Amino acid sequence: MADRLQFSEREALDFHSHGRPGKIEIIASKPMATQRDLALAYSPGVAIPVKAIAADPSTAYDYTAKGNLVAVISNGTAILGLGNLGALASKPVMEGKAVLFKRFADVDSIDLELATEDVDRFIDAVELMEPSFGGINLEDIKAPECFVIEQTLRERMNIPVFHDDQHGTAIISAAGLINACYLTGRELKDVRIVVNGAGAASISCTELAKALGVRDVILCDSKGVIYEGRTEGMNQWKSAHAAKTDARTLAEAIKGADVFYGLSVAGALTREMVKSMAPKPIIFAMANPDPEILPEDALAAAPDAIIATGRSDYPNQVNNVLGFPFIFRGALDVRATTINEEMKLAAAHALAALARQQVHEDVAAAYGVAHKFGPDYIIPAPFDPRLIETIPPAVAQAAMDTGVAQKPIEDMDAYRERMRERLNPTTAVLASAYEQARARPKRVLFAEGEEEVVLRAAIAFKEGGYGIPVLVGVDDTKDLLAKLGADPAGFELHNARHSPLVPKMVEILYDKLKRKGFMRRDVERMVNRDRNVFGALLVALGEADVMVTGVTRPFRSSLIEVMRVVDSAPGHTPFGIHLMVGRNHSVFLADTTVNERPSAEQLADIAQQTAAVARRMGQEPRVAFLSYSTFGNPPGKWLDNVRAAVAELDKRGVEFEYEGEMAADVALNPAHKKNYPFSRLSGPANVLVMPGLQSANISAKLLRELGGERMIGPMLINMEHSVQIAAMTSSAGDLMTLAVLAAAGIAR
């Protein structure tokens, strides 16, 4: 089993403090450049929608952000597994929740921390904010107060109120239970579940399991079985699930049980208890950070068990991010007045059905969904791009069916299509690349090991569990690592001054360059003094799988040095790609780094290989060969190569859309389509092949500095060994991204 994701306190604090403190900001969704813009946004233009809303309150959903705005609210009385640390300490968690809403379902969210443990004051404060929000997500509020707060707010408010600590875990575990019972041939009405833990999540899991049709559930807390007649440590929520049983301990209750739900503490379930369960036991050990029993221990006791945990490093992660963003998405889109039991059940069934769907090979490769439905895959992966087109429609339909939808969806197929277009699938690939790197760790060589930004990237790469960092450094590199808080003993360091590999390197490189104008002493000097040559030779000798360099010298200088050692991939043209990642789109620019004036054949090859990268990044490629001219207007002498490249792809019979020559606005703006109805592109281009290095490099750097969106790259493609040359201004995060994309096999 892989180690859990690791990072240092320093990295976590740096992440939250770097640049703009915190994780969220508010940006205007309308232009604010001119005085007229401001007049429309505020006075006097704002008076018009004010009057409209006063006349018809429902129009607030049309003229304000209310319909896509959720408040994440906590008083900090049950923060993660840390306990009652107060409202202010909960703010990083609530900001994080807001980020997840946006990232996974494009729901805008704002965090609100209320400094009170008084239930009535908390309820009153939240109730008064109903005009501001389309929904309320309660978070990290201790039991039993959370039950009172949620129930009262649901009764008083006419917008969805959802305590995710309760219902999120319940919905995801219910989906897993449906599929685990399917695989083991059980009927839900016949299974017996033992639930260990009697907090908010445990009781919600119990209630939803019963709503699924489970009739036999025994609930346990720290004092043992909750049975009929027990008085010690009871409350109304526990009493509602008191069982008629002679069992008094978890060990007694678990005998013969089909299912174990654990929402308690590490080690609560022993191997002996697992052995006493029914054949093919179903175990949901969901305590965090450490489960009630480790999967390897459970499998040692029952090799036929199906196991889920709350951890990402084991199969079947019960992860709330599979639920709350998409549930609110569906609820908001029909303006639901509540999130009821039927909507929660619809989400659970939709999740279960998604896990049973066959994953196309391309999707599996792109998103790291490597498993097919079975004991190790009963719950979808968190980065499965199909979640947004599956869960919100199911929730919305349930809201409509139960009469709580104020704005029913008329065309559900069109709604699913809008959901598909709402998010950028590349972001899911970028996220899953980190998981792929952790699952198959590679040795990544960082060639500039005396630079602080490089060392920070290497430290983060190691602490994240993405692979083994190999440093080309100097005598002081270990001291530099120690100053940054890392243990130098955990890093492999190579220094040409002391490396026993140098004589072999000289022989290899001299044999390669001796007929290209280099004398032996030239080669010796390069190996001993040039970190890029030395690093590339380490990769060529198998001492590392990937090389990352570039922050100490211009790209072209680094490329020349690397290519003295590493050839291009046989039959291919090396080139560079910059990737611009927006909220709901990605654009690939090539060739931005290598070929000054590519031939038609090279342009065709660049287009074909960039299309392959786009597919690996979750995009269906639409290639535009760019020019100052659009289909011959204006004419010019530099168009022949581009036209010949299009003809070359015609001959190759490639399986993606391509067109050219065309200007950039024609390639990207759908409004131009009417002027060129013969264009073979079905939508805006997402792969832009530039006619030459000058235009490509200028475009990429302008977009990096002015575009306002995330720019990744350059990514060096079509090299015999995986080498990435970063921009000189790269941050540690940029270097990490290149290293992970190369290690995961996406940039190659």
* Residue entry with tokens 């895959």: 377
Provide φ and ψ at 411, rounded to 5°: -125, 95
How far from each other are the two terminal CA atoms of the chain, in whole angstroms? 27
- For the chain, give the percent of residues with pLDDT over 90: 76
Alpha-carbon distance 564 to 548, whole Å? Answer: 16
Q: Looking at domain 434-563, which CATH architecture does it have?
A: 3-Layer(aba) Sandwich (3.40)
Q: What does CATH list as the number for 9-159?
A: 3.40.50.10380
Q: What is the residue-wise DSSP string for 506-568?
A: HHHHHHHHTTTT--HHHHHHHHHH-HHHHHHHHHHTTS-SEEEE-TTS-HHHHHHHHHTT-PB
**Per-residue pLDDT for 102 more than 80?**
yes
Q: Look-up: residue for tokens 């196309």?
A: 360
With residues binned 3-state (H G I as helix, E B as strand, rest as coil), the percentages for the chain, rounded to 5, are 45, 15, 40
pLDDT greater than 50 at residue 2 = no
**What is the pLDDT at residue 364?**
58
Mean pLDDT of 13-21: 81
**371 has a pLDDT exceeding 80:** no
Q: Does the domain at residues 167-319 carry the CATH identifier 3.40.50.2300?
A: no
Q: Phi-psi category of 329—alpha, beta or left, where left has phi over 0 and alpha has psi -120 to 50?
A: alpha
* Nearest in space to 626 (alpha carbons), one of 659, 581, 592, 674: 659
Locate CATH 3.40.50.720 in the chain.
167-319
Q: For 620-676, what is each residue's pLDDT tens digit?
A: 999 999 999 999 999 988 899 999 999 999 999 999 999 989 999 999 999 998 999
pLDDT in tens, 558-589: 999 999 999 999 989 999 999 998 877 889 99
Sequence length of the chain is: 748
The CA-atom distances, in angstroms, between 274 and each of 283, 286, 296 are 9, 15, 12
Interacting residues of 280 by C-beta distance below 8 A, sequence separation 6+: 184, 302, 304, 305, 306
pLDDT tier for residue 306 given thresholds of 50, 70 and 90: very high
Catalytic residue at 97?
Answer: yes
Of 54-58, 357-361, 370-374, 471-475, where does mean pLDDT reach its minimum?
357-361
3-class SS of residue 617: coil
Rounded distance, CA 311 to CA 5, Å?
9
Amino acid 368: pLDDT: 53
pLDDT at 7: 67
Calculate ∠ Cα 107-110-113, nearest 5°.
145
Q: Please state, in angstroms and rounded to a whole number, the distance separating the CA atoms of residues 173 and 162.
A: 17
d(CA 740, CA 726): 13
Q: Give the annotated binding-site residues for NADP(+).
A: 79-86, 288
Report yes or no: 385 and 419 within 8 Å, Cβ to Cβ: no
- What are the pLDDT digits (tens) for 122-167? 999 999 999 999 999 999 999 899 999 999 999 999 999 999 988 9
Q: Looking up tokens 């921009």, which residue turns up?
A: 727
Neighbouring-strand partners of residue 259:
193, 282
By CB neighbour count within 10 A (0-12 exposed, 13-18 middle, 19+ buried), where does 653 fall? Answer: exposed
**Residue 584 confidence (pLDDT):** 75
Say if residue 1's pLDDT is above 50. no
Looking at residues 29-37, what average pLDDT do you find? 86
Contact between 366 and 744 (Cβ < 8 Å): no
pLDDT at 437 over 50: yes
CB within 8 Å of 605: residues ≥ 6 apart? 572, 573
- Residues annotated within a binding site for a divalent metal cation: 139-140, 165
Topology at the third CATH level for domain 575-715: Rossmann fold (3.40.50)
pTM above 0.85, yes or no: no
Only one residue has tokens 């509602």, namely 240
Task: Answer whether 140's CB lies under 8 Å from 93's CB.
Answer: yes
Tell whether the torsion through CA atoms of 59, 62, 68 and 70 is positive or negative: negative
645's CB contacts (< 8 A; 6+ apart) are 600, 601, 603, 604, 607, 625, 660, 689
Can you give the pLDDT at residue 6? 59
Structure tokens at 113: 């921390």
Q: Given 97, 238, 462, 478, which residue is catalytic? A: 97
pLDDT of residue 704: 84
Output the CA–CA distances (angstroms, integers) from residue 652 to 622, 645, 649, in the order listed: 16, 11, 5
Q: What is the pLDDT of residues 679-727, one digit of tens each?
A: 999 999 999 999 999 999 999 989 888 876 788 989 999 999 999 999 9
Q: Indicate the burial class of 701 (C-beta count within 10 angstroms; 0-12, 13-18, 19 or more).
A: middle
Neighbours of 483 (CB within 10 A): 11
Confidence of residue 359 (pLDDT cuts 50, 70, 90): low
Taking alpha carbons only, the member of 502, 449, 503, 444 closest to residue 472 is 449
Residue 182: predicted pLDDT: 97
Mean pLDDT of all residues in 79-96: 92
CATH 3.40.50.10750 domain range(s) in the chain = 575-715
Per DSSP bridges, beta strands 710-717 and 575-581 are antiparallel
Q: What residues are designated binding site?
A: 79-86, 139-140, 165, 288
The tokens for 395 are 């929730």
Whether 139 and 97 have beta carbons less than 8 Å apart is answered as yes
* Dihedral angle sign, alpha carbons of residues 644, 646, 648, 651: negative
Name the average pLDDT for the chain: 92
Q: How confident is the model at residue 187 (pLDDT cuts 50, 70, 90)?
A: very high
pLDDT of residue 361: 55
Residues carrying CATH 3.40.50.10380, the chain: 9-159
Q: Which two tokens stand for residue 8?
A: 């240092």
